[in-house]
Amino acid sequence: MKTFFGTLIALSLAITAGYAAKTVTLLNVSYDPTRELYQDINAAFTKEWKDKTGDEIIIKQSHGGSGKQARSVIDGLEADVVTLALAYDIDAIASKNVIPKDWQKRLPDNSTPYTSTIVFVVRKGNPKHIKDWDDLVKPGVKIVPANPKTSGGARWTYLAAYGAALKSNNGDAAKAKAYIAKFYQNAPVLDIGARGATTTFLQREIGDVLVGWENEALITLNELGKGQYEIVYPSISIVAEPPVSLVDKVADRKGTRKIAEAYLNFLFTPAGQEIAAKHFYRPRNAEVAKKFERTFKTIPTFTIDELFGGWQKAQQEHFAEGGVFDQIFKDNR
């Protein structure tokens, strides 16, 4: 029997030594405005991986509203990794036992390789003189945020506006609620996603202020509508943290865990961070952040944990059925 096992092991080694390079396909399910970011990340990572291992990787992308994307993964979309707008959406996937509940502790910075914040984009010359959050609720000002019920970015926008109102009213929730009601009264259109809101503001020429992701605002200024718009940083805003995670069950079933983990780790490397910064996402890496300090204006910020007690609580209080958003939306009708 010993001889037999010895022969088997020798046979195993001989066979595996003949292993040849192969092609692996990954699917990254992401949210609305990250298309261009991940096109560049994918190109850089596949090159690095091929140089290192000789293996080819094809990384497919899927984009849409963050909540909708999470639902698709729960429904069976075979994502190896998810890179979504908010932790609540990845928590929803984890609740189906396809990702461990402590997923956010697996990568640095709460599994958030880059951050963003919520800012304003106004038309050239800032005809409505928009400077801060209070200006958005003035009569005659039309704002364009996305719908918090369907968009992750829009939830960050809602929380930024609500949080700013809380801060300026010494934590008075009633005043903050009144503010947020007026805020959405001034929104003639609520788009399904952040990219849709950008389209509404830029292409359909609706509204005076686009309120949303800083990265979308900077793209608007630098690429989509060069010279036609201006960015306005409010006096305070929120730190928006779009997280990433491996989808363990899918990766294990497909045998892609190692590559998928390496892909996510790449986001935290200086190379990955630099690509994120080029696409106007605030990098975590201090050196890269220093290099791009002129791109990102420093403003006072607050976190969701500080003012809202984390995503689960915020979701329940503000966005769940019958929450604050439903109440003010009903009143606004």
Partner 1 sequence: MKLKTYLLLAALGLHSISQPVRADETSDAIGQLKSQVEELTQKIKALERNREIEKEAAEEKKKATPTLSAGADGFWFRSAETNFALRIRGYGQFDGRYYGGTARAARDTFTIRRLRLGLEGTVYQNYDYKVLTDFGSGITSTPANNAFLQDAYVNIHYWPEFQVQLGKFKEPVSLEVLQSDANLLFVERGFPTQLAPNRDVGIQFQGDLFKNRLSYAAGVFNGVPDGGSGDVETTDSEKDFAGRIFAKPFKTTDIAALQGLALGVGASYGRQDGALGTYVTPGRQRFFSYLSGAGALATPNVAAAGEHLRLAPQGYWYWKQFGLFGEYVLSRQQVKRVSGATANVARLDNEAWNVAVSYVLTGEDNAFNTPTPLHPVSFKEGGWGAWEVAARYGELSIDNGAFPLFASAGSARKISSWGLGLNWYLNKNLKFNFDYEQSLFDAGTVKPNTVTSQDEHVFLGRAQFAF
* Interface ranges with partner 1 (CB under 8 A): 4-5, 8, 11-12, 15-16, 19-20, 22-23, 68, 74-75, 96-97, 100, 142, 150, 188-192, 196, 200, 204-207, 248, 252, 255, 257-258
To the nearest whole angstrom, how small is the minimum distance from the Cβ of residue 272 to partner 1? 19
Strands 56-64, 23-31: pairing kind = parallel
Nearer to partner 1 by Cβ, of 35 and 167: the residue is 35
Which of 13/286 has CB closer to partner 1? 13
Determine the Cα–Cα distance for residues 276 and 279; give it in Å rounded to an integer. 5
Alpha helices in the chain (DSSP H): 2-17, 35-53, 66-74, 87-94, 108-111, 152-168, 173-185, 194-202, 214-219, 248-254, 257-266, 270-278, 286-291, 304-308, 311-314, 324-332
Comparing CB distances to partner 1, the nearer of 108 and 188 is: 188
Which DSSP letter does residue 222 get? I
- Token output for 189: 């259109």
CB of 78 to partner 1, least distance (A): 11
Whole-number minimum distance, CB 252 to partner 1, in Å?
8
Assigned token pair, 310 = 């984390």
Residue 112 CB, shortest distance to partner 1, in Å, is 21
Q: Helix or strand or coil: residue 79?
A: coil
Least Å distance, CB 163 to partner 1, is: 26
How far apart (Å, rounded) are the C-alpha atoms in residues 249 and 257?
9
Phi, psi of 199, rounded to the nearest 5 degrees: -60, -45
Minimal distance, residue 235 CB to partner 1, in Å: 28
CA geometry: angle at 35 spanning 32 and 36, to 5°?
A: 135
Tokens read off for 207: 């509204």
Between 47 and 253, CB nearer to partner 1: 253
- State which residue, 56 or 293, has the beta carbon closest to partner 1: 56
**For partner 1, which is the closer residue by CB, 97 or 235?**
97
